[in-house]
Chains A and B, each alone.
Chain A
Amino acid sequence: MTPILAQTSWLIPLYPLMGALLTIPWSPAMIRRTGPRPAGYINIVMTALALTHSLLAFLAFWGKSSPQFFFAPWLNVAGLNLTIPLEASAITLGACVLITTLNLLAQLYAVGYLEMDWGWGRFFAMMALFEAGLCALVLCNSLLFAYMLLEILTLGTYLLVGFWYNQSLVVTGARDAFLTKRVGDLVLLMGVLAIYPLAHTWDFRELAAWAQTANVDPGLITLISIGLIAGPMSKCAQFPLHLWLDEAMEGPLPSTILRNAVVVTTGVWVLVELEPVIALSSTASAFAIAVGTVTAIGATLISAAQIDVKRVLSYLSSAYMGLMFIAVGAHQPGAALLLALVYALGMAALVMGAGSIIINITTQDLTQMGGLWGRRPVTALAMMVGAAGLVALPPLGGFWAMLSLVSGLWDSDRGLLVAIVLLVNWLTAFSLARLIGLIFAGKTQQMTIRAPEPLWLIVLPMAIVAGFTLHLPLVMAQLHLLPAWAEVSQDMALLLTWSSILGAAVGTLLYVNRVVEHPAGLVKKPLQNLLAYDFYTPKLYRNTFVLGVDMLSRLTDWLDRYVVDGVVNAVGLASLFSGETLKYGNTGQLQFYVLTISLGVALLGVLMNWHALTALF
């Protein structure tokens, strides 16, 4: 049984795809009698099938070093032979397990969260599309097809964020998400086009092999590598392409679980696969590190200044993606993947917790929350577990992932980056402590007086994810992902632990114990605004790119109407006008016509005999 499942692991993306297609009868006006709910149930079953399949296939591959490759022919034209290479290995199938698990939980959560919604068919179809796209992306072993999947997911983001399309913020959020991701995708496409003439392949493994011996123009490869980094930058919401993630929070929350936990990490996945190519150019690696650093520090600072619970989490997502960028830039792809794994579970628990709060206190404003500890203990515990799993707090997963990153950085003499990771970890711990403190500690307010735990469909998936987060170290030990105790750099472990504890302690003192009346007052107003308004990036965008494209389009439109078309119309008018004018020459007098004819004949005669005439004189 299991070998068959391993050999057919290319089927995994097809289950959710099938589920997505099966929702079609429930799209408006086809099946009305049942309501849209069956669409959701079908997809949950399909996801469960995909999960079972990938789990069994994963177990079959675990411990065996040799991955298995599948090839599907796609397009063969004019010497360009495009075959879809799929790689089934412990890592790729493990990623599939993670994706399908989280999607299954997110879909169960959605059954509770979107109970009253009429758009189930659309929602579950989109979730299934994402699951299919993500599974295909991790299984697929080619840069070109990875790019294509990323583009399809960009469209998916647009449709999923725009799910509640009659709200204006949703519409702009969907637009910004789509356009920002598309910009990244197209720069990635440029990189995809440009690397082929050099490497003659898009296969990740062959690219890595090529990069070992490649001898290329350093300027060109730097440009290409930066192009290849740009796509993941927009996916991972890195500065300056980070705005969309925060706006995308306008979409339905169950989709946010999937997006913030795994969709954003697609960029990291591609980046990890491309790491050997990026390593060819030290400038590009430095670029990845710089982008990651700016994002990690900037986004954690911003997240600590937000009063919207979803925004706090979205900026933390950007920050963690920044850490993964640093890992890839510093040639530690393994650490990046490990971080992505622990991040996915921790963030899923946090987002699910946030949703569980929002659904029955109907506000996202942290300043209106407080005192929920007694009323919402399960949610509180789940969020605390998620937070603990995210930051470097032993013995949970975040600690081990951060440790592997920091040790690697230290071993490669990058002390500054170690300091940056510690700082980001400190800030994250602070920000999460602030978040949890503001929600659960303090006095109850008007909005939080009546706030029981919601439906079990919301609580159960949340508790399961929290449980997974707690058990992650055991799973990691089982999979030999933890270092032996003797190899652990104890200095680094201590530093990391202390940075988390200090951050959490400061946050707790300020927001739980309230040692200061108004903790926000500790920071000067301009700085506070700078962080609260996201370094004014939205304004910056509006005044540069958006304004530029808008002005340019108006200008060309004006040119088109009045200059290019104006010339044409002027020629038309001129001919009409000259015709109108010349018609008054028709006097009806014979003498006038004869005179015109004879003058014309004379002129023609002179012209035709010009040679003879010039010879004469």
Chain B
Amino acid sequence: MLTPLLLIPLVGAIAIGFWPGLTGKQARTGALVVSALPLLWTIWLFIQFDLSFGGFQFHEFLPWLPALGLNYELSLDGLSLLMVALNSLITWIAIWSSAPDIERPRLFYSLLLLVSAGVAGAFVAQNLMLFFLLYEIELVPLYLLIAIWGGEKKAYAATKFLLYTALSGALMLAGFLGTVWLTGAKDFTYYAVMGHELPMVWQVVLLGLLLVAFGIKIPLVPFHTWLPDTYVSASTPVAMMLGGVLAKLGTYGLFRFGLGLFPDAWAELSPYLAVWAAVSVLYGAITAIAQKDIKRMVAYSSIGHMGYVLLGGAAMTDLALTGAVSQMVSHGIILAILFHLVGVIEAKVGTRELDVLNGLMNPVRGLPMVSALLVLGGMASAGIPGLVGFVTEFLVFQGSYAVYPVQTLLGVIGTGLTAVYFVILLNRTCFGKLDNAIAYFPKVTFSEKLPAYVLASLILFLGIQPNWLVKWGEPTASAMLAAIPIAIDTVVADEVIEALPPAVDPSEALPTEPVLVPVASLPSLP
């Protein structure tokens, strides 16, 4: 059920790379077809997914290297499902928005598909070592994608990205090894609340390792400096993949392995995590205001928005965690549309400098439709209601306010600052007077606008009908919190939480013994 998600892009990548005599155009068509298949497969998964069950579904198991505890084990819950969907969608969009006359097209498309396969695998991996392997494997194609097709300073950016992420991988490996050895588990299979029995000190140390590891990947301040360089140097499709999908590996790992393995330590640290989130939000937003390059501005905006995800996770309420999971998706969609539009503007106008750009809204000689879509994307990012960004941020705020009021209010201020830099961006690029002397821009074709149309309609549709987004993550978020063995009431003792109808029967939610249920033994649904 899940293997096609990895296998199709992998086989496709090999085929596109090695099929004799393939032209660039054929490679592009092939890549589009190959990436459309997992997208269709994901839609089928959505249809088959059992919403009433918050745990893992579609389980697959194949012994690989049992001696090392490494098995090919895949499974999927609501969190993974949303991430897989985001990956399939953004991959297709990224391939579509690649320049048709790109250099070395066969290598480019096959590397992009390879990244997609690795990421999809990481999102459904049920084995810590398998997750680690896939997490590391996608680094290689990404390094090449940045280093070969990047813009200025591409070698520097690619190396920086590689070093940072390799460090993140090493820390994560240390965390995983420590967890498995200290708990005495017989292999690397993922169990929820695995670290519960460890002494608190060890839990905090191991969680700390994972926090830094995934903090680099997300990234959170101060581990973020690879991000602006990398996002800006990467070509548009690669930036879309990096910001839209790869960053989600970080938050996914944080929730799956940080919150999932060490809930006690997570609860212990959560006030600091909330502060960290608020700092990240404000830092990203304030720094974005000072940027003079629109791509860099969008890159910094990503740092701020990922902070909301951590805030939702730190609050540990059903609502906030659901909001955080949904925020991961909405951030992916919004960032992808922004990077795409910035890429189109750069390709047509030839610059990304705020001080040079002007008046693109001009209906005759400017880029009116691109400007209109940029307004939509920017406003979605700034959290205007009716667009998807608002819904998810609001859920995070509403869920975390009862627990961490101050940090939440700081987050609200962050959305205000987001509005400031997007207004600067829109005022400088879209508004103003177009200089007629230089305004001989090539026409933007429909095909170049199509990715933005797709993403914009998703932004609008999910903003107006948010149930379609949040319902997938909700049971999983509830299940993840319900699996936490300690009485989390001590942390979230607030009348709101008590007043809300509990999603799970409290007697089930708070068993006296920690439940160590191997995923393989869970009822696997068709």
Contacts and interface: CB of A to CB of B under 8 A. Distances in A.
A and B associate: yes
Interface of A: 27-29, 74-80, 118-119, 147-149, 151-152, 154-155, 158-159, 162, 165-168, 170-172, 174-175, 178-179, 182-183, 186, 189-190, 193-194, 196-197, 200, 549-550, 552-554, 556-557, 560, 564-565, 568, 572
Contact of A28 (B363, B385, B397): B363
Contact of B433 (A75, A155, A166, A557): A166
Contact of A77 (B322, B362, B375, B390): B322
Interface in B264-295: 283, 286-291
B312 to A, nearest CB: 11
Contacts of A75: 391, 466-467, 470
A78 B503 contact: yes
B305 to A, nearest CB: 16
B379 A155 contact: yes
A193 B412 contact: yes
A78 B399 contact: yes
Given A78-B322, A80-B500, A193-B398, A186 B415 contact: yes
A402 B390 CA distance: 40
B470 A77 contact: yes
Given A77-B471, A165-B359, A556 B283 contact: yes
Contacts of B386: 148, 152
B390 A193 contact: no
Contacts of A572: 163
Interface string B387-420: 0001100010111011001001100110111011
B126 interface: no
Given A29-B368, A78-B322, A171 B431 contact: yes
Nearest to B430: A165
Contact of B398 (A80, A167, A172): A80
Contacts of B359: 165-166
Interface string B415-447: 111011001100100111110000000000000
Nearest to B422: A178
Given A28-B363, A80-B398, A190-B412, A564 B291 contact: no
- Residue with the highest number of chain B CB atoms closer than 10 Å, among A74, A152, A553: A553
A197 B500 CA distance: 11
Given A78-B500, A193-B408, A197-B494, 6 more contacts: A78-B474, A79-B318, A148-B390, A165-B359, A186-B412, A190-B409
A168 B318 contact: no
B172 interface: no
Contacts of A78: 317-319, 322, 399, 474, 477-478, 500, 503
Nearest to B408: A193
Interface residues of B, number: 71
A556 B287 contact: yes
Interface of B: 160, 163, 221-222, 224-225, 283, 286-291, 317-319, 322, 359, 361-364, 368-369, 372, 375, 379, 382, 384-386, 390-391, 395, 397-399, 401-402, 405, 408-409, 412-413, 415-417, 419-420, 423-424, 427, 430-434, 466-467, 470-471, 474, 477-478, 494-496, 499-501, 503
- Chain B interface main SS type: helix
B423 to A, nearest CB: 5
Contacts of A554: 290
A183 B225 contact: no
A196 B495 CA distance: 10
Nearest to A158: B423
A171 B432 contact: yes
What 8 A-B pairs come out closest when comparing CB atoms?
A79-B500, A148-B385, A557-B290, A28-B363, A553-B289, A78-B318, A165-B431, A553-B290
B402 A175 contact: no
Contacts of B221: 564
A159 B495 contact: no
Nearest to A119: B363
6 contacts: A75-B466, A75-B470, A78-B474, A175-B424, A552-B286, A564-B222
A91 to B, nearest CB: 25
Contact of A166 (B409, B412, B432): B432
A390 B372 CA distance: 39
Contacts of A28: 363-364, 368-369
A80 B291 CA distance: 38
B401 A79 contact: no
B287 A557 contact: yes
A172 B289 CA distance: 16
B204 to A, nearest CB: 25
